[in-house]
Structure 1
Amino acid sequence: MILKKAHFPFFYLLLIICSLFSCESNVKKHPTYLALFGKAELNFENAKFDSAFYYYQKTKVFCHSQNDFNNILYPILMMSEIQRLKNDFSGSEATVTEAIKYLKKDTKKSYYTFIYNNLGLAYLEQSNYSEANKYYYKSLEFTSDELSKCIVKNNIAYNYIHQENYIKAREVLELLRLNDSLKINFIEYARVIDNLGYVLYKLNDKKAFDYLIQSKHLREKNRDIVGLTSSYMHLAEYYQKVDLDVAKNHALKAYEMARKTNNPDDKIEALQFLTKLSEGVEAKKYAIQTFKLNDSIQTARQQAKNQFAKIKYDSQQALEELEKQKQLKEFSVIGIVLLFGIGTFAYYRIKKRNRKKIKETAYQTETRIAKKLHDELANDVHNTIAFAETQDLLNPKNKDTLLENLETIYNRTRNISNENKDIDTGELYLEKLKAMLATYNSSNRNVIVNMDAFNHLKTSKEVKVVIHRVLQELMVNMKKHSQCSLASISIKSSKIGLQINYSDNGIGVANLLNIKNGLQNAENRILSINGTITFDTLPEKGFKVKIEIPKQ
């Protein structure tokens, strides 16, 4: 079964138009931007996706370095699209989610459409159908032109087909078939009636054959080779119970079309179907071809995923280095006073805004921050001021030492601020929670997150804040002490409340009391909302935490 969702050349066009006519353009005339962007676009047009991804990432980094957060959206979205085309669906989801933080009230609607549609596609390919449907409908909210709406609705029908909900799929496709805007776009119209024909075949409706044939004729007329792959496979499946020779002939044609488009997934599906329709030596031949092709595809896709990850990691390192150089140039003795003021302001702001219901947690948080300010930041500030007053700063060695001290003070102040800033408990809560946890991934540590069963929209703001803070403290504890290579976090909603599980394969400890003391603040937060928290650890056996929060 090769069911065709839209691959969105129409949406690419919308993205390009928005990119060209963005109102607040700061970098578009810059030679570096033009060179990087031009190479990215050229490689994408020529289907050289690895090179295109590299240059889109370079374009994104350049926009970031110039503080141009209007033009940064387009390269990020094209990177997510390349990952999706290369079947790196989790990577595509992470990249397109990154784009959400750059959306503003005046951002073009087509960007919203593309982002939510691609999230829908990513979740669909990961078999998370409810999330896919949610984002498809969000995409519809921002879609203004009729053809784009038809494309998204076809994807919604495709999602229903994957769930074998053929009745729902038929309802959507029957209405699309009558849409005048769709009828004048022959490729999209052929895709819809082909899917409709397949759905009617599954429902044993005699009209199925007419739609399948009509779609095939349209695709032949418009030389739509990608679409013909789908048509031939659907006809092969239609004929398998009627005439095996005709069915096999259509499957062979589907394989030939897939070979012309060099689509490995379509080739595998055609070969699997030919194996099913054949016997003896012929069936064995097709099966061996399938196994060989599947192995090579898996290897190639894993290499692509690793390459995308490396490109993003290297670029992030370069960006951080660039930021570091900027900051070192800007710091001075006046900067020390300002940074100390930021730390003091963060302390009093946190103290003022903590809720009455978690007084004990608030007290311990304030104490912890005060200790950091006194033991770490204040001492560093005092020593740095003393150094600046007593040493010859014209000496290059002394100057470098001063800059290093300033960098240390900045990082500590930033860490204190990040640990205690406000938490967005709205619709983007889950994406931002995942993004926070993702920051603890590294080259030698992988954090696995499973929140598919977490209904955060029906969870109170207070509980969401507690969950975010507690997981953050677990991550900090893991990073400092566990020495683990793998950590896992899951959150599940149920009728009686929430269950959170954390585990890692770190070194563990013999004395559980030491861990409880280190995570006392996390334990107090859970107790403040009437929850329970259980720790489990042994030396070299890792560390586990189980949290249960009753329905509020």
Structure 2
Amino acid sequence: MIPKKIQITFYTIFIFVFFFACQNKKKPVEKIASNKIEIEKTIRSADFFYKNKQLDSAFYLYNKARANSNLKDDVKNYVYCMYYMAEIQQKHEDFVGSTKTAIETIPFLNQIKDSNYIWNIYSVLGRNYFYTYDYPTAIYYYSKAFTLKIDRINKLEAKNNIAVIYIKQHKFKKALPIFLSISKEKILKDSPENYSKILDYIGYCYYKLEDPRALSFFRKSLKIKSQANYLEGLGKTYYNLSQFYQKNKAGLAMKYAKLSYKNYTLSGNIDERLLALKFIIENSPDVESKKNMLIYISAIDSIFEVRQQAKNQFAKIKYDTKKEKEENLKLKAQKIKNELQLAKQENSNIISYIVIIFASALIVFIYFFLTSRANRQKIEATYQSETRISKKLHDELANDIYHTMAFVENRNISTQENKKHLLKRLEDIYSRTRNISKENTPTISNQNYIVLIKEMISGFNTPTTNLMINGLDTISWDSIDRTKKIAVYRSIQELLVNMKKHSCASLVALTFKELDNSIIINYTDNGRGIDINKMVLKNGLHNIENRINAIKGEINIHSDFGKGFKVLIKFPA
């Protein structure tokens, strides 16, 4: 039973809050209108920076306007800002962050009458899933965009994007008629840039279908782009021509590949420039190939660093804005308490003063105590995370890069076997870099969990290592706690990294099953194994044990030298 004094204290505070709430309802409408005007002014400034490609400043201002938007009265501005924030994140290839930003708007889309806002969100989601190779989900959002009541040009864009996905899926016969129908649209022919793109896609489909009509479409596209001095588009067409002539006219193919590289460099398209450079490396003599390889490695390192910095910066902007808003609310709450105390002074007695002062002191003490403890925990967690990432970069990438450089210096790169071996090493380094990046991406949700874990596992599937997955889709992941799913994801990733580094396995099997309200995961490989009596849990295996123990699970390891490696993981569903 609550003591009377505490009851009186709660009743007094309740009366104060109720009184203030009643007074607060009398706020002038002019103040709300003023806030909306300020938000729209911020959005206009953000639009200016976005149009002038000052994306950092634009993201900051869109986020500021979004944070101050009232979701009851100003949903349209909120969705508008979130869309452009997602666009900016996408331009920096932070596809996971962009998807998370865009999905936050989904619950509010039914409150918006303007279909163009909804189309923007569906389109940015479609592109994110396309860039992360989730083609079925990308088609789903592009199809939703196509069904909206929107301008003809937007419908054609959604239709075009679906056809592009069919190309990625090697469904050229399915993509070709879509592109041909789009090419007949008058509104498209009036735009040389877009029309030339469609001609390129048609030519590419014909090329893949071994139809000689491909060349005429490439030449027509090249003519339009040359007249318009469309550098990025010229890079694409020249690259298509280099592929077209690769088998029969190697010299001409190399000429077009170099033109592609030049135009992509001038236009600033880094990813496509690397694609052209890769083609040049694969078809160049050893001296030139070695020189281009160093350029390729340097460019990849620079791209990764710049994009990682952008991701961190945008995440920090969102976090700082949220923190600032929370601090402002706390300051407002404190101000309200002070105003209530002043209003009550005339009719209050000494006991009221003591109760108010005691309650205020207690709240301030608890606030500072919790804030101080949370800050210490954040600092410690950040230090541990940075240490782990630094070690992982050194252990998994530095040595591989050194050995790759030594291979280039000591081997004849002009031979096909050495060239393939070098490219395989570079692809392996790139794959590991992506895995380290993904490991530190916290976005694991019900909608994309199975896709994420399959994509991660497939990254370890090589010509010499075959991975088999059984039962993953039978688990009810939607009902499993997010912390457990993260632990499973990272434990499997650690097992596969250890396999790749130590076991030399050619066959790996992962089996998932749900039994008696428990999830059971069996990992087996046919690698060289270890002596279980001499085994010491270090690094990766130690990390796995800690993660499984944290979710109240258990882990059993069975191995013998030369007889493979087995791990059983079991935890409550």
Task: Tell whether 2:332 aligns with 1:392.
Answer: no
SS at match of 2:109: coil
Contact preservation (8 Å) 2:75, 2:112: no
Deviations 1:70-122 (A, max 9, x none): 31111111010011111111111111111223323333111111111111110
1:286-320 deviation digits (Å, cap 9, x = unpaired): 22211111111111111111111111111111122
- TM-score computed with the length of structure 1 as normaliser: 0.61
Q: 1:493 to 1:81 in 2, by over 3 A?
A: farther
Once the two structures are superposed, the pairs formed by residues 458-473 of structure 1 within 5 Å of their partners are: 471=481
Partner of 1:255: 261
| 2:306 aligned partner, one-letter code | A
Matches within 5 A, 1:478-497: none
CA distance in 1, matches of 2:285, 2:190: 44
Whole-Å Cα distance in 2 between the matches of residues 323 and 468 of structure 1?
Answer: 34
1:385-436 deviation digits (Å, cap 9, x = unpaired): xxx99451597x446236559989xxxxxxxxxxxxxxxxxxxxxxxxxxxx
Q: Aligned pairs, how many?
A: 395
Cα separation, 2, equivalents of 1:48 and 1:501: 50
Displacement of 1:50 in angstroms is: 2.0
Q: Which has the higher contact order (CA 8 A, sep 6+)?
A: 1
CA contact (8 A) 2:520 2:570 kept: yes
Counterpart code for 2:65: T
Secondary structure of 2:212 counterpart: coil
Q: What CA distance in whole angstroms lies between the structure 1 residues aligned with 2:237 and 2:139?
A: 25
Residue 252 of structure 2 is aligned to residue 246 of structure 1: yes
Equivalent residue for 2:399? none
Change (3 A) 1:507 1:78: same
Inter-partner Cα distance in structure 1 for 2:512 and 2:199: 39
CA contact (8 A) 2:122 2:145 kept: yes
Q: Percent same amino acid at aligned positions?
A: 28
Stretch moving more, 194-203 or 275-284 = 275-284
Which position in structure 2 is the counterpart of 1:526?
Answer: none
In structure 2, C-alpha distance between the alignment counterparts of 1:162 and 1:485, rounded to whole Å: 27
Tell me which residue corresponds to 1:152: 158
Q: Secondary structure at the match of 1:278?
A: coil
Say whether the 8 Å CA contact 1:232–1:250 is kept in structure 2: yes
- Aligned ranges for residues 328-367 of structure 1 at < 5 Å? 328-329=334-335
Flag the 1:471–1:327 CA change in 2: closer, same or farther, 3 A.
farther
C-alpha distance in 2 between matches for 1:162 and 1:46: 32
**2:444 is the alignment partner of 1:449:** yes
User: 1:471 & 1:231 partners in 2: Cα distance?
Assistant: 48
Structure 2 CA distance for partners of 1:404 and 1:64, relative to 1, 3 Å: farther
Give the partner amino acid of 1:295: D
Specify whether residues 63 and 120 from structure 1 end up closer, same or farther in structure 2 by C-alpha distance, changes over 3 A only: same
Secondary structure in structure 1 of the residue aligned to 2:554: strand
- Displacement, 1:151? 1.0
| Alignment equivalent of 1:175, drawn from 154, 169, 181 | 181
- Candidates 554, 566, 572, aligned match of 1:536: 554
**TM-score under structure 2 length normalisation:** 0.59
Equivalent residue number for residue 130 of structure 2:
124
Q: Deviation string for 1:21-70 (max 9, x for gaps)? A: xxxx9568634651x33432222222222222122212212325996333
Distance 1:45 1:100 in 2: 26
Aligned equivalent of 2:306: 300
Cα drift, residue 473 of structure 1 = 9.3
1:30 aligns with 2:48: no
Q: In the TM superposition, what are the counterparts of 1:308-327 in structure 2 within 5 Å?
A: 308-327=314-333
Cα deviation, 1:124-159, whole Å, max 9, x if unaligned, reads 111111111111111112252211111111111111
- The structure 2 residue matched to 1:186, chosen from 189, 192, 198, is 192
Structure 2 counterpart of 1:392, one-letter code: Y
Q: Match for residue 503 of structure 2?
A: none
Output the CA distance in 1 between the equivalents of 2:135 and 2:512.
18
Give the AA of the match of 2:301.
Answer: D
Partner of residue 75, structure 1: 81
TM superposition shift of 1:499: 9.4
Assess, with a 3 A threshold, how the Cα gap between structure 1 residues 61 and 390 changes in structure 2: closer, same or farther. same
Asked if 2 retains the 8 angstrom alpha-carbon contact of 1:194 and 1:215, the reply is: yes
Structure 2 vs 1, CA of residues 84 and 295 (structure 1 numbering), >3 Å: closer, same or farther? same
Matched ranges for 1:104-123 at <5 A: 104-123=110-129
Gaps of 5+ in 1: 1-24, 335-387, 409-441, 456-465, 517-534
Q: Which amino acid aligns with 1:263?
A: N
Amino acid of the residue matched to residue 118 of structure 2?
A: Y
SS of residue paired to 2:53 = coil
Q: Which amino acid aligns with 2:361?
A: T
| Secondary structure of the structure 2 residue equivalent to 1:107 | coil
Partner residue in 2 for 1:221? 227
8 Å Cα contact 2:96/2:443 also seen in 1: no
CA RMSD, Structure 1 to Structure 2 (Å):
4.4
Amino acid at match of 1:30: I
In the alignment, the residues of structure 1 paired with residue 168 and residue 138 of structure 2 have an alpha-carbon distance, to the nearest angstrom, of 11
Closer/same/farther in 2, CA of residues 123 and 236 from structure 1, 3 Å limit: same
Structure 2 residues without counterparts, runs of 5 or longer: 1-31, 341-348, 369-380, 386-439, 452-475, 494-510, 522-540, 557-567
8 Å contact 1:449–1:488 — kept in the other structure? no
1:509, 1:207 → 2: CA distance? 57
Contact 1:33–1:62 (CA under 8 A) maintained in structure 2: no
Q: Could you say which residue in structure 2 is the equivalent of 1:280?
A: 286
